[in-house]
């Protein structure tokens, strides 16, 4: 071969090699990136070419698929009771992608998950249409309905947990939205999406897990736990040596109590009538570092995954003594999600054992074979069984004698423990306060449900009438009652 031909051959060989390298680079190295690229419409078209699997509650699907007759995006997602379940399901839209369970378990629901390879291969030989798998949740439909209807037109959220397992039984957030309204690709869907994006009430925000609020007095159960665990209180009925005008450290400001009988009140009495002075002093006695340690054992200062991500609740690690004392009564920088306060309540109700919260029980193949089963997992032990039972005694006292009477179920063999909270916020506390209530119901077999409720705003309710016992406790009562009834 002469020299020019050899050069041409070498050059062509290098081109072929470059082509092979480029092809392999695209197919193997960048495959996932290109598949997930927002401009790759082929992937989106394929996602909606077949019926999507369902999200299941109590054995029944709360989602579905309908033939949209669109030549590209054939099957459109539908939702039963969409606004009620939206904080759980999220949405799956042909135009606007997906979120929450619809996004996290998209592979199972579309049938594209590697764990469904055998099902896809078998369908190729049998000629069956490709199908998506199902996501079976831990949710209780009666509890969810009670939470959603209890909130009604109020702005707020509810989370209910089974303390013994960590199963999430209800997760409601209002105002909500209907994910069916923008599940398609039409101009009508676009209008619905744009309206939601512009809505100042943020109906797409899942307040149960993504919004953090000042907890106010419901945080006092955490401070009580810290005081017991660190030996600052050994007898919950003994005086705490707290003057009524106790001053904040590094300040001349006296703590204000909104009820009488707080001077030297016992821990039991202080929780019953919610004495700010007693709990602020206890937080100072325990000290910032130990308060942080206890709060973090309950889950503060860390994101939670249910598997949907929850925002971190916050207990300030760098506060000075005055800031720590205020943090101990749920003020200063303390902030929490409703999920976090449900976790606190669940741990106390479960004799000090905090279980990892979760809301997906099973992932199922189209033929109903179980691909994955979630097993309950212990997360931490924030308090000893003995101290947890003391906390239960105090919380039950709040319901029978104190501010939580509206949550009392008055059912034979059922004890209810709770704590009210009215959280001030805004500059100089000028905004309308938030109404909190945390509670659990307990039978001889243990506690089947713990609940956290926050009412962020209630139209038509005067500022003076906003209270955890008045607005939030009845909602918690309805949720607990629904869970107990479904257990027979």
289, with CB counted inside 10 A (0-12, 13-18, 19+), is: exposed
Neighbours of 154 (CB within 10 A): 22
What is the C-alpha separation between 479 and 485, in angstroms, rounded? 10
Output the six-digit token pair for 442. 């307990």
What is the C-alpha separation between 61 and 73, in angstroms, rounded? 22
Of 254, 156, 267, the closest CA to residue 220 belongs to 267
Of 212, 169, 191, the closest CA to residue 423 belongs to 212
174, with CB counted inside 10 A (0-12, 13-18, 19+), is: buried
What is the C-alpha separation between 169 and 163, in angstroms, rounded? 10
**288 contacts: CB under 8 Å, gap ≥ 6:** 316, 317, 319, 321, 324
What is the C-alpha separation between 101 and 91, in angstroms, rounded? 8
Token pair 């202080």 in the structure block, residue: 270
Is 217 assigned a catalytic role? yes
Estimate to the nearest angstrom the gap between the alpha carbon of 360 and the chain centroid. 13
What is the C-alpha separation between 394 and 419, in angstroms, rounded? 9
What is the C-alpha separation between 348 and 474, in angstroms, rounded? 21
Cβ atoms of residues 311 and 339 within 8 Å: no
475, with CB counted inside 10 A (0-12, 13-18, 19+), is: buried
- Considering the candidates 65, 68, 173, 217, report the single residue annotated as catalytic: 217
Active-site residue set: 217
């Amino acid at each position: 071969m002469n020299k020019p031909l050899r050069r041409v051959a070498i050059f062509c060989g290098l081109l072929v090699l470059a082509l092979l390298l480029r092809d392999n680079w695209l197919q193997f190295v960048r495959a996932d990136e290109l598949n997930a690229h927002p401009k790759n419409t082929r992937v989106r078209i394929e996602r909606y070419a077949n019926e999507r699997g369902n999200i299941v509650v109590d054995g029944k699907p709360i989602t579905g698929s309908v033939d949209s007759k669109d030549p590209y995006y054939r099957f459109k997602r539908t939702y039963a009771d969409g606004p009620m379940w939206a904080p759980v399901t999220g949405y799956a839209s042909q135009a606007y992608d997906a979120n929450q369970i619809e996004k996290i378990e998209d592979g199972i629901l579309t049938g594209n998950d590697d764990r469904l390879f055998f099902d896809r291969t078998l369908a190729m030989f049998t000629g069956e249409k490709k199908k998506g798998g199902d996501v079976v949740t831990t949710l209780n439909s009666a509890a969810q309905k009670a939470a959603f209807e209890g909130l009604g037109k109020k702005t707020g959220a509810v989370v209910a947990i089974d303390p013994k397992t960590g199963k999430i039984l209800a997760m409601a957030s209002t105002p909500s939205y209907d994910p069916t309204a923008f599940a398609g690709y039409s101009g009508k869907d676009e209008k619905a999406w744009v309206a939601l994006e512009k809505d100042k009430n943020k109906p797409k925000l899942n307040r149960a897990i993504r919004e953090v609020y000042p907890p106010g007095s419901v945080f006092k159960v955490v401070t009580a736990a810290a005081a017991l665990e660190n030996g600052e209180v050994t007898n919950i009925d003994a005086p705490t040596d707290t003057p009524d005008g106790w001053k904040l450290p590094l300040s001349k400001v006296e703590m204000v109590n909104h009820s009488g009988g707080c001077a030297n009140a016992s821990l039991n009495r202080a929780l019953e009538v919610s004495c700010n002075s007693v709990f602020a002093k206890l937080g100072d006695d325990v000290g910032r570092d130990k308060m942080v340690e206890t709060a973090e054992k309950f889950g503060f200062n860390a994101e939670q995954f249910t598997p949907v991500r929850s925002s971190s609740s916050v207990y300030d690690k760098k506060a000075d003594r005055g800031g720590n004392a205020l943090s101990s009564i749920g003020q200063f920088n303390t902030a929490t999600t409703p999920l976090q306060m449900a976790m606190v309540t669940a741990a106390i109700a479960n004799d000090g054992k905090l279980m990892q919260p979760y809301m997906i029980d099973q992932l199922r193949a189209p033929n109903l074979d179980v691909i994955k089963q979630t097993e309950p997992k212990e997360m931490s032990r924030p308090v000893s069984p003995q101290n947890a039972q003391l906390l239960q005694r105090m919380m039950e006292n709040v319901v029978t004698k104190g501010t939580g009477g509206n949550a009392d179920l008055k059912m034979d063999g059922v004890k209810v423990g709770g704590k009210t909270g009215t959280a001030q916020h805004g500059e100089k506390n000028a905004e309308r306060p938030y109404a909190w209530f945390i509670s659990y119901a307990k039978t001889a077999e243990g506690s089947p449900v713990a609940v956290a409720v926050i009412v962020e705003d209630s139209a038509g309710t005067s500022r003076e009438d906003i209270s955890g016992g008045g607005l939030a406790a009845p909602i918690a009562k309805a949720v607990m009652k629904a869970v107990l009834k479904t257990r027979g």
